[in-house]
Amino acid sequence: MHTLSDIEQATGQVFPPLYRQLDAEDRLGFGGPHPEWFKVVFPALQAAPPVLLYAYDYEPIARERLHEAWADLTAADHYNPLRADMQLLPFAETGAGDVYCFWTNAPGFAEPPVLLVWHDDDRADLLAANYQDFLFRKMVESVLDLEDSLLDDGALADNLQRWLDTHRAWLRADQVQALETWFGQTEAIANGELHEDQADALIREVIGFERINERIPYVQA
């Protein structure tokens, strides 16, 4: 299945409008696998960074793998079988195999919130009330630790500016303003002087909601 519409028809779920827009604009992927990705593909991406190129522990699931990822997560014989009352659409993953998902039937939300579903625990963390807020959160958290970060390849200030430039159209004005100030602290970022409590305070100020960071059991009882 190679279109989002195919996946939606197969799963009976719907991707958020912003995610569909970015898929149509071909902005979700990192250029696909390549034996010399860092030397060949990455430099071209730096000029106009795709969605969350520099985010910490974030790997987009290619469109051609989305249905497979959903089928794996919802399989009846999964070692952590999904609750029958939860409908999830995976769209990205961590290096450890945890999965970022849209919770498409979450009660009380105008759009699907974003969960991080842990592969080795009955735990899904509620990260953001919608996909736009998720993008903002991941961008804020990206500068807390530059060890092994792609942001450290080249001039940090230039990388941050280009990243924000491509993303500003996908964010709210207040989110862009907050990131301009946050990313503007390049010396503090380079020296590792921004801390998790500062990031958490900014995230809660700009995109906070009552259930942020709530841990939700997702495995069948």
Q: Measured at the alpha carbon of residue 181, what is the angle toward residues 180 and 182, in degrees to the nearest 5?
A: 95
3-state secondary structure 18-71: HHHHHHHCCCCCCCCCCCCHHHHHHHHHHHCCCCCCCCCCCEECCHHHHHHHHH
Instruction: Count the alpha carbons within 13 Å of 58 in the hemisphere toward its beta carbon.
Output: 23
- On whether the CB atoms of residues 179 and 161 are closer than 8 A, the answer is no
92 sits in which H/E element: strand 88-93
How far is 93 from 134, CA to CA, in rounded Å? 14
Query: What tens digit of pLDDT does each residue of 104-133 get?
Result: 999 999 999 999 999 888 899 999 999 999
Residue ranges in the chain whose pLDDT is less than 50? none
| Sign of the C-alpha dihedral computed for residues 30, 33, 35 and 40 taken in this order | negative
- Helix residue spans in the chain (DSSP H): 4-11, 17-24, 42-47, 63-74, 131-141, 156-167, 173-183, 186-190, 196-207
How far is 125 from 149, CA to CA, in rounded Å? 23
Closest C-alpha to 4, from 79, 89, 82: 89
What lies within 8 Å, CB to CB, of 71 at 6+ separation is: none
Instruction: Count the alpha carbons within 13 Å of 152 in the hemisphere toward its beta carbon.
Output: 13
Closest C-alpha to 139, from 186, 174, 179, 194: 179
Query: What pLDDT does residue 2 have?
Result: 77
**Domain boundaries, given as residue ranges, for the chain:** 4-216
Q: Measured at the alpha carbon of residue 202, what is the angle toward residues 198 and 203, in degrees to the nearest 5?
A: 115
Q: Which two tokens stand for residue 173?
A: 């004005």
How far is 163 from 54, CA to CA, in rounded Å? 8
